[in-house]
């Protein structure tokens, strides 16, 4: 190891002896690592958005239902504990927000159309924190109280139903005895959501109004809690689980929407695979360059060996060359990636392909998200795999027979 | 109030004086028309013609009704639809098809959909009575046509009524025959209209023999129901309006 500074100097000089080749290789590595980081940031951004959107309509990081409700979301499987008792049992626990609501499948009808929707009977004051609808941006007005007689629907749904603010629609669902429960409502507001499908599938009415319509007294179908961070909901979960009656089903969001939960996990694996795939393409260039560099100076290596340099030092020199090359390339790539992602933080409008994105649950504006973890992962993977790939040419160089090497014509 | 005074008071109110004004009057007209059409119980044989610009089909059906709540409709012709039935009991609706040999309860989500492919919705069939209580009725006009007084009644649904229409306009003759029933959307545009094309004396009553439902927005699409035979106030067993009878007819 005494030799390392000398070897490093030799390696660095050698790299710039054939600067054209080095620059080409550097740019390949730089572009490769840029692509790794940039694409990762894009997909991360997309998935984060999907999860954030998904959670925003799920709302509630931790939810309490009747054990049967998730399999059969009807009012037959409701929570009969009145709000007052719930409030008493959660007294003293610190949640960002909590609310109880009525969520049932329903049919919405106008003069010309009828559609299936998810009916949410909410207490607008309690849900302000949860809702993906920002109350102030609603055309018309949002619900004002739990016994509001109006209905707020999405703009897309209103278009489909051919209705508008001020007109009446009919909502139809089933009461606990499977009898039809229906009622007319006046549309008081239209909301817009980041995803068109939300606008089509959610309909808000007051909680008390919903309870009356469905004839369920003071019962609700779910109680929801908001924690501080959706990535870490366990503290909230434990707080809730301790206080909720054993007969009810307490779940974290990723246990309710397993698709979203899995998405989050798959993403980590995806980043690694993506990095490795790009590296495989890069490695051919890298190994080729090193092999060329070794062939080019067989006589030189022979001379060094003849002068008494140890084979291990030759090995080390080639490896150092490779590492220097990779490190420089990665550095350039990292800087490039940061520089290109920075101006795009405000979002990339991809509304041209919005429909396709919509199908997989992503919205039409992409916000790239750069995580330090991903950058470190890309760099470390490239360095380690690069080291392994350069072992073979380096090993070959160190095994030359000095006499043969010196006398080699070439 | 002393019991002794109660009787004279009741007698007083029993006079045919419109005790509650225009709305009550109009409401009574609507109720009478529906009751006249249906009777306390009835048996009808009818033919339904569904017309579309490029095809037309007709079905012959038998229908039984009892009171406000119960009715049963069964297809007789054409042969391939024979035995298809619909049972309505107190706002619930079931259908049966011998081909699949299953009784299906029509869920609320399907109430807005077409009944047997016609221009009538399941809701039109199952809940004709709603119009009496869930609306505000008023008489728009009175005119005399062929010596018979015809009332034009506007029915506006209550704020929370489970009705999508902006208003409905009925033309009812003083002998309780409905001449026209028009459905308007909330912008006041006509959406669909049920008209009586032929009026005849049948089963001891004057009724609309042929009625046609037309959708205003699709030209050339209509459904016509013609009554071939009708009997009123007949004895019907309760067992007629049961799921097992829907499945296995015993008539």
> Is the reported ipTM for this assembly greater than 0.85?
no
Q: Does residue B68 carry a pLDDT above 50?
A: yes
Residues A24 and A128 occupy one common structural domain: no
For residue A182, give the nearest of B162, B183, B186 by CB distance. B162
What confidence tier does A92 reach under pLDDT thresholds 50, 70, 90?
low
What pLDDT is recorded for position A18?
A: 83
Q: Does residue A321 carry a pLDDT above 70?
A: yes
| Residue among B113, B155, B186 with most chain A CBs within 10 A, to mutate | B186
Q: Cβ separation of B164 and A111 shorter than 8 Å? A: yes
* Nearest chain A residue to B106, by CA: A180
Phi, psi of B19 (to 5 degrees): -75, -20
Q: Decide: A393 and A297 in contact? Cβ < 8 Å.
A: no
Residue A229: give the domain boundaries: 59-256
Q: Residue B23: which residues within 8 A CB-CB, separation 6 or more?
A: B136, B137, B138
Q: Residue A7: which residues within 8 A CB-CB, separation 6 or more?
A: A313, A316, A317, A320
CA-based nearest residue to A379, from A281, A284, A278:
A278
Residues A236 and A265 occupy one common structural domain: no
Q: Residue B104: which residues within 8 A CB-CB, separation 6 or more?
A: B94, B95, B96, B97
- Is the Cβ of A174 closer than 8 Å to some Cβ of chain B? yes
What confidence tier does A331 reach under pLDDT thresholds 50, 70, 90?
very high
Note the pTM of the prediction, 2 decimals.
0.68
Give the C-alpha distances (Å, rounded to integers) separating A248 from A65, A72, A93, A347: 6, 15, 18, 41
Give the C-alpha distances (Å, rounded to integers) separating B168 from B136, B137, B152, B184: 10, 9, 10, 6
d(CA A323, CA A310): 20
Q: Residue A23: which residues within 8 A CB-CB, separation 6 or more?
A: none
What pLDDT is recorded for position B9?
A: 43
| Residue among A182, A186, A203 with most chain B CBs within 10 A, to mutate | A182
Residues A249 and A265 occupy one common structural domain: no
Phi, psi of A393 (to 5 degrees): -60, -35
What pLDDT is recorded for position A332?
A: 93
Query: For chain B, what is the largest distance between any 2 Cα atoms, rounded to a whole number of angstroms?
Result: 71
Q: Residue A80 has what DSSP assignment?
A: -
Q: Does residue A391 carry a pLDDT above 60?
A: yes
Q: Decide: A146 and A207 in contact? Cβ < 8 Å.
A: yes
Residues A303 and A394 occupy one common structural domain: yes
d(CA B243, CA B208): 30
Chain A hits for B166, CB-CB cut-off 8 Å, are: 111, 168
Residues A300 and A230 occupy one common structural domain: no
CA-based nearest residue to B140, from B182, B170, B161, B174:
B170
Residues A40 and A63 occupy one common structural domain: no
pLDDT digits (tens, 9 = 90+) for A44-81: 887 777 777 777 665 677 888 887 777 777 777 777 77
Q: Decide: A61 and A222 in contact? Cβ < 8 Å.
A: no
Give the C-alpha distances (Å, rounded to integers) separating A371 from A30, A34, A48, A374, B230: 19, 14, 11, 5, 78
Phi, psi of B203 (to 5 degrees): 55, 30
What pLDDT is recorded for position A100?
A: 82
CA-based nearest residue to A37, from A269, A326, A286, A341:
A341
Q: Decide: A391 and A323 in contact? Cβ < 8 Å.
A: no
d(CA A281, CA A31): 12
CA-based nearest residue to B112, from B103, B130, B124:
B124
Sign of CA dihedral A175, A177, A178, A179: negative
* Nearest chain A residue to B91, by CA: A180
DSSP B138-176: EEEEEEEETTEEEEEEEEEE-TT-S---SEEEEEEETTS
Domain limit, last residue, from A256, A285, A303: A256
What pLDDT is recorded for position B15?
A: 40
d(CA A335, CA A341): 10
Does an H or E element contain B46, and which?
strand B41-52
Q: Cβ separation of B186 and A111 shorter than 8 Å? A: yes
> Strands (DSSP E) along A168-285, which ranges?
168-174, 180-191, 202-206, 222-226, 249-252
Residues A63 and A41 occupy one common structural domain: no
Residues A175 and A315 occupy one common structural domain: no
- Is the Cβ of A40 closer than 8 Å to some Cβ of chain B? no
Q: Does residue B16 carry a pLDDT above 70?
A: no
Token reading at A242: 């301790």
Give the C-alpha distances (Å, rounded to integers) separating A152 from A57, A101, B112: 15, 15, 21
The predicted model gives B30-45 an average pLDDT of 80
What pLDDT is recorded for position A327?
A: 92
- Of A16-30, A147-161, A250-264, B51-65, give the lowest mean pLDDT range: A250-264
Chain A hits for B109, CB-CB cut-off 8 Å, are: 105, 107, 114, 116, 172
d(CA A320, CA A8): 6
Chain A hits for B183, CB-CB cut-off 8 Å, are: 111
Distance from CA of B204 to the nearest CA of A (A): 36
- Is the Cβ of A296 closer than 8 Å to some Cβ of chain B? no
Count of CB atoms within 10 A of residue A362's CB? 22
Q: Does residue A20 carry a pLDDT above 80?
A: yes
Chain B hits for A179, CB-CB cut-off 8 Å, are: 91-92
DSSP A312-337: HHHHHHHHHHHHHHHHHHHHHHHHHH
pLDDT digits (tens, 9 = 90+) for B103-129: 888 776 677 777 777 787 777 776 666
For residue B112, give the nearest of A105, A107, A149 by CB distance. A107
Most confident of A247-261, A321-335, A396-410, B156-170: A321-335
Q: Are strands B148-157 and B135-145 parallel, antiparallel or unpaired?
A: antiparallel
For residue A174, give the nearest of B108, B183, B186 by CB distance. B108
Residues A50 and A187 occupy one common structural domain: no
For chain A, the domain total comes to 2
Residues A124 and A201 occupy one common structural domain: yes
Chain A hits for B124, CB-CB cut-off 8 Å, are: none
The β-bridge partners of A168 are: A186
Token reading at A161: 């139903």
Residues A92 and A240 occupy one common structural domain: yes
d(CA A127, CA A143): 11
Domain limit, last residue, from A256, A287, A313: A256
| Structural domains of chain B, ranges and CATH numbers in brackets | 19-247 (2.50.20.10)
Q: Does residue B38 carry a pLDDT above 80?
A: no
* Nearest chain A residue to B107, by CA: A180
Give the C-alpha distances (Å, rounded to integers) separating B30 from A12, A143, B124, B173, B180: 100, 36, 16, 10, 12
Distance from CA of A75 to the nearest CA of B (A): 14
What confidence tier does B2 reach under pLDDT thresholds 50, 70, 90?
very low
Residues A78 and A191 occupy one common structural domain: yes
* Nearest chain B residue to A114, by CA: B112
Domain limit, last residue, from A226, A256, A286: A256
d(CA B105, CA B91): 11
Torsion of CA A226, A229, A231, A237, to 10 degrees: -40
Q: Residue A70 has what DSSP assignment?
A: T
The predicted model gives A179-183 an average pLDDT of 81
Residue indicated by tokens 């140890």: A310
d(CA B251, CA B248): 9
């Amino acid at each position: 190891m005494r030799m390392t500074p000398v070897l490093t100097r030799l390696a660095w000089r050698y790299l710039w002896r054939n600067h054209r080749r080095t620059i080409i290789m550097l740019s390949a590595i730089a572009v490769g690592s840029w692509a790794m980081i940039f694409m990762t940031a894009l997909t991360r951004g997309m998935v984060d958005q999907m999860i954030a959107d998904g959670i925003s309509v799920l709302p509630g990081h931790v939810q309490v239902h009747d054990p049967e409700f998730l399999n059969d979301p009807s009012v037959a499987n409701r929570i009969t504990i009145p709000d007052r008792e719930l409030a008493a049992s959660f007294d003293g626990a610190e949640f960002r927000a909590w609310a109880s609501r009525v969520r049932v499948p329903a049919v919405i009808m106008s003069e010309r159309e009828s559609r299936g929707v998810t009916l949410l009977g909410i207490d607008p004051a309690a849900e302000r924190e949860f809702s993906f609808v920002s109350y102030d941006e609603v055309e018309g007005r949002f619900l004002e109280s739990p016994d509001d007689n109006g209905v707020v629907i999405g703009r897309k749904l209103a278009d489909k139903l051919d209705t508008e603010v001020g007109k009446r629609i009919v909502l139809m669902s089933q009461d606990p005895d499977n009898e039809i429960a229906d009622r007319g409502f006046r549309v008081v507001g239209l909301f817009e959501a980041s995803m068109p499908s939300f606008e089509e599938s959610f309909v808000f009415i007051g909680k008390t109004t919903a309870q009356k319509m469905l004839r369920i007294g003071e019962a609700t179908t779910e109680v929801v809690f908001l924690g501080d961070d959706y990535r870490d909901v366990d503290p909230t979960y434990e707080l809730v689980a301790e206080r909720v009656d054993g007969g009810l089903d307490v779940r974290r969001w990723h246990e309710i929407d397993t698709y979203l939960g899995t998405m989050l996990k798959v993403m980590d694996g995806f980043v690694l695979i993506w990095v490795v795939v790009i590296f495989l393409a890069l490695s051919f260039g890298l190994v080729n360059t090193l092999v060329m560099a070794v062939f080019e100076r067989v006589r030189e290596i022979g001379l060094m060996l003849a002068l008494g340099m140890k084979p291990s030092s030759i090995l080390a020199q080639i490896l150092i060359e490779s590492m220097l090359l990779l490190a420089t390339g990665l550095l350039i790539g990292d800087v490039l990636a940061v520089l290109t992602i920075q101006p795009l933080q405000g979002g990339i409008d991809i509304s041209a392909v919005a429909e396709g994105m919509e199908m997989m649950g992503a919205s039409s504006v992409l916000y790239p998200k750069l995580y330090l973890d991903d950058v470190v992962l890309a760099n470390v993977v490239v360095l380690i795999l690069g080291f392994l790939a350069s072992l073979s040419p380096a090993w070959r160089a160190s095994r030359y027979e000095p006499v043969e090497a010196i006398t080699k014509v070439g | 109030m002393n019991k002794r005074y109660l009787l004279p008071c009741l007698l007083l109110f029993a006079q045919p004086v419109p005790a509650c004004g225009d709305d009550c009057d109009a409401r009574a007209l609507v109720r009478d028309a529906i009751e006249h059409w249906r009777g306390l119980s009835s048996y009808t044989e009818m033919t339904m013609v569904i017309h579309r610009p490029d095809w037309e089909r007709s079905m012959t059906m038998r229908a039984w009704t009892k009171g406000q709540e119960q009715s049963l409709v069964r297809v007789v012709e054409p042969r391939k639809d024979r035995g298809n039935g619909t049972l309505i009991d107190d706002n619930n609706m079931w259908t049966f098809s011998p081909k699949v040999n299953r009784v299906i309860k029509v869920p609320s989500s399907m109430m807005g959909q077409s009944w047997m492919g016609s221009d009538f919705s399941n809701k039109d069939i199952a809940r004709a009575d709603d119009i009496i209580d869930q609306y505000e009725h008023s008489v728009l006009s009175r005119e005399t046509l062929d010596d018979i007084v015809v009332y034009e009644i506007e029915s506006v649904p209550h704020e929370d009524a489970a009705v999508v229409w902006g208003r409905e306009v009925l033309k009812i003759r003083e002998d309780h025959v409905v001449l026209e029933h028009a459905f308007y959307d909330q912008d006041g545009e006509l959406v669909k209209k049920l008209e009586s094309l032929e009026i005849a004396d049948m089963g001891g009553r004057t009724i609309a023999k042929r009625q046609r439902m037309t959708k205003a927005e699709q030209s050339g699409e209509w459904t016509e129901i013609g009554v071939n035979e009708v009997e009123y106030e007949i004895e019907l067993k309760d067992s007629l309006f049961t799921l097992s009878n829907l499945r296995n007819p015993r008539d």
